[in-house]
Amino acid sequence: MLKLTAGVAVATMVLSILAPIAASADSPSGTLVYHFTFSSNQNVSAKDSANPAEDYTGNAPTNSGAGALSQGSGSSTYEGSLTDKGTITVNIVRQQPDGALVVMVSEQGENVRRAPPAECVVYGNTNVICDPNKTVYTEEYTLLRFLGGNFVDPNALDAKRHWQIVQDSPSLNVKADYTIDSNNNGIMQIGETRSLRNPKGGSLTTDIQAKIGYDFKRAVPLSVDEYTQQRHDNGVVGTSLTIYQTTLNLVSDSTAKT
């Protein structure tokens, strides 16, 4: 569901601001290639035992000559990280009557993140549907969310060049705010604040901050710098915090008009 906050007068004003470029916005076709970097850093605090552990120190002799036992917390902390870089290729197959793009996306990382082509459908409201039988990595989804031809819709902007996308379902609530921070003849800098929540409360929360370089005329993201914090709270059992950082930069675009 797209939440519109502008009245008729505001919408008219915003349209006049974008008028020089709105009429020339085209749907892309062809092949896009992006260079990506990806990192994941996880910190887990886990309860190894339901009861406090007994740690054997062996340093304090007792009357029986045995070492002393000192009570531990029963908790441990674990850390792990993963990094990779490479390219993501998007072949735009066609545009559907509803405006959605059908694409084939693939990834070639230098280390472990490699995925063969997968078919996906991309909508302007950042919805992405991909073949469930294929591997599509999170950095691929990050890119695909901004490929919809109507991602920046002048009719949806308020007086502060802001719009909001709210998508609620029985399993997930998504709220995203976008603001056009600058616009130089259609080359935009857009800020994103996005949250994902379980409508029933749940233990998993995801918060995203992103900066998007965007070419409105071609409806193509030029760059994305995304920072994600994902928290998993299991109460007394333990908690985890995973930080994902993704950068994307357009390096090849056959859709560009020469």
DSSP assignment of 22-64, as one string?
HTT-----EEEEEEEEEEEEEEEEEE--SS--EEE---S--TT
Cβ-Cβ contacts under 8 Å for 114 (sequence gap 6 or more):
86, 107, 108
Domain ranges within the chain, ordered by starting residue: 2-48+75-251
Instruction: Say which CATH topology domain 2-48+75-251 has.
Output: Lipovitellin-phosvitin complex; beta-sheet shell regions (2.30.230)
Amino acid at 14: V
Per-residue pLDDT of the chain (258 residues; tens, 9 = 90+): 344 333 333 333 333 334 433 433 444 569 999 999 999 999 887 665 555 544 444 555 555 555 555 555 566 777 889 999 999 999 999 999 888 999 999 999 999 999 999 999 999 999 999 999 999 999 999 999 999 988 999 999 999 999 999 999 998 999 999 999 999 999 999 999 999 999 887 788 999 999 999 999 999 999 999 999 999 887 666 788 999 999 999 999 997 765
Query: Rounded to an integer, what distance in angstroms lies between the CA atom of residue 228 and that of residue 78?
Result: 20
C-alpha closest to that of 218 among 148, 121, 161, 122: 148
- Do 235 and 253 meet the contact criterion of CB atoms below 8 Å apart? no
Distances (CA, A) of 97 to 24, 101, 230, 236: 19, 9, 36, 51
The reported pTM is: 0.77
